[in-house]
Amino acid sequence: MGLLQLQYFKALAEKEHLTETANELMVSAPSLSATLARLEKDLGVQLFDRVGRNIHLNEYGRIYLKHVNEVFSSLENAKLEILDSQNNQKMHLSVAITSPIVWHDALQSFIKANPHITISHTIIKAHLFESASYCSQFDFIMSATTDLPGNDWDSDILNPDDRPLLAVYPNHPFAQRKAVRLIEAKDENFIVVSKGFSMRLFFESLCKMAGFSPKIIMECDYMLRSKMLAAEYGIVLTTQSGAKAGALGNAVFVDIIDPGLRRTQAIFWKKQRYLSKPAIIFRNFMVDYHQAELRNQR
């Protein structure tokens, strides 16, 4: 069997949809199906259970996928190590984040301290974490620990206790309060980020724990959310790190004392991934930066 067969199997195993996978690979569905059949014949087992037009990775397929992922991970590590050992090594990193305002200050500080290292910066929605091939393109993902379940990632904790806050405009009744229970905001108009963002999932989890369905007056991106809050269109749920970023203008921040759910923010990289010299510099900088931030808050 060749690498092309393994690549096709890996893509199909992640999508579990023959036509969509064929389109993504730019091959015909019959050709993809024939490649899979040859692979299964070589192995002597079926890798997928077929129910009508649907296919699902079975126990043998899951075992095989684990080892196929190791093959591609090893090849990628070899490439990275070769590049790392070259004198003309490209000092570049690819970083994905889920909540942009949380990480802007840290990223700006890194770039200022390390101008020789360039960064590609991508905002990622939560559903994309289900695609191993998509996530593996990044050197690092910076997000809440609940966003990346499973055992495929190594991580360092950056902020172990990012607590939720309400951001309200200065003449809102809550602005005179130091803390509220979230249930007290059940009749408020909320401005929220669009579905799929990690912060939106956190907001929905908090409201569910508080026992109410929020009144969402507007869904938008982070920038428009700030402008709508300033225009007193509604209020916003954020976190301590979001408040510190200063992206919500003259908002007043009020502690939420119930529910007690917190976010743990971390930097993630794929297990067994070779970390280049610029990657190690970046990871160590982020850990040191946030440890200093936590010390300053005490």
Query: What mean pLDDT do residues 80-106 have?
Result: 79
How deeply is 184 buried, as exposed, middle or buried, from its count of CB atoms within 10 A (0-12, 13-18, 19+)? middle
Per-residue confidence (pLDDT) for residue 87, from 0 to 100: 54
List of residues 6+ apart from 95 with CB closer than 8 A: 107, 119, 120, 121, 122, 138, 139, 140, 141, 142, 282
36: exposed, middle or buried (Cβ count in 10 Å: 0-12, 13-18, 19+)? buried
Of 68-77, 219-228, 279-288, the one with minimum mean pLDDT is 68-77
In a 10 Å sphere around its CB, with 0-12 CB exposed, 13-18 middle and 19+ buried, how is residue 75 labelled?
A: exposed
Q: Are residues 16 and 36 in the same domain?
A: yes
Residues 152 and 20 grouped into a single domain: no
More confident residue, 137 or 257: 257
Range of the domain at 196: 164-261
Q: Kindly state the average pLDDT of the residues 136-165.
A: 89
Report the pLDDT averaged over residues 137-149. 89
Q: Are residues 147 and 284 in the same domain?
A: yes
The 3-state DSSP composition of the chain as helix, strand, coil percent (nearest 5) reads 50, 25, 25
List, in sequence order, the alpha helices (H) in the chain: 3-15, 18-25, 29-43, 59-85, 100-113, 132-135, 198-210, 222-230, 240-244, 277-297
pTM assigned to the model: 0.72
171 with 55, same domain: the answer is no
Q: How far apart are CA 123 and CA 121, in angstroms?
A: 7
Q: Does 164 have pLDDT greater than 70?
A: yes
Query: Is the predicted pLDDT of residue 89 greater than 70, yes or no?
Result: no
CATH code: domain of residue 104: 3.40.190.10
What are 224-283's pLDDT values in tens digits? 999 999 999 999 999 999 898 888 989 999 999 999 889 999 999 988 788 888 999 999
| In the predicted structure, residue 293 carries a pLDDT above the cut 80 | yes
205, pLDDT greater than 70:
yes
Last residue of a domain, one of 81, 112, 127: 81
Please indicate, yes or no, whether residues 168 and 284 belong to a single structural domain of this protein. Answer: no
Residue 86 pLDDT greater than 70, yes or no:
no
Which residue, of 36, 53, 81, is where some domain finishes?
81
Residues 111 and 170 in one domain: no
C-alpha span between 119 and 111 (Å, rounded): 8
Give the domain-ending residue among 37, 60, 81: 81
7-44 residue pLDDT tens: 888 888 888 888 888 888 888 988 888 888 888 888 89
Residue 167: phi and psi, rounded to 5, are: -105, 120
190 falls in which pLDDT band (50, 70, 90)?
very high
Q: Are residues 77 and 110 in the same domain?
A: no
Based on the domain organization, do 249 and 189 belong to the same domain?
A: yes
Domain count, the chain: 3
